[in-house]
A = this chain, B = another copy of it.
Amino acid sequence: MKRTTNLIIGTIAVCVAALMIFAASRADQLEAPTYVKQIPSGYRDWRWISVAHEEGDLHSFAAVLGNDIATEAYRAGKLPFPDGAIIAALHYRHTASEENNKIFGREQSFIAGAPTNIQFMVKDSKKYAATGGWGFAHFNNDGKAADEKFMESCFPCHQQMKARDLVFTKYAP
């Protein structure tokens, strides 16, 4: 009898452990967002996708670059972006150029000022399933990744651009 009881308890324990592992794995996949912690190599040589300029509190200039997979998908109008696509947004201060204005004879010219941060979207539909298949990254000018609290704001905002697979930037011809 005692042996049977032990067997039942043992079986239950194994089942509970298995369920806990399964639940943790599901949570990993579907709930806990994973962020990109390393700067993708070679991004400064990637091809140019488009530019952006944000005012409000930002006063920022962006150049958006794509690795080969992202650039080809953009050019082919292929959505969703395939796994392996990486999009980089290089941000700078939106800065008046006194040097240019002097030559042009009027206040009209703005250039990329001090670099501020670089953001990436890395497509891996399995690894980043919890955030629409995209891993988000934000590196400050000192190369340090932003903290998790900051990163929590990426997905809810990008998620509103469902029609373009969460990507704001359109390809400039």
Q: Which residues of A does B touch, CB under 8 Å?
A: 44-48, 50-56, 58, 61-63, 65, 90, 92, 94, 100, 103-104, 106-112, 115, 157, 160-161, 168-170, 172-173
Contact = CB atoms under 8 A, between A and B. Distances in A.
Contacts of A61: 51, 53
- Stoichiometry (number of copies): 2
A160 B100 CA distance: 10
B110 A52 contact: yes
Given A53-B53, A55-B108, 5 more contacts: A47-B48, A51-B63, A54-B109, A56-B107, A112-B172
B56 A170 contact: no
Which 6 pairs show the lowest CB-CB distances between chains A and B? A56-B108, A53-B110, A48-B48, A112-B172, A55-B108, A103-B160
Given A52-B110, A170-B111, A103 B157 contact: yes
A58 B108 CA distance: 9
B48 A111 contact: no
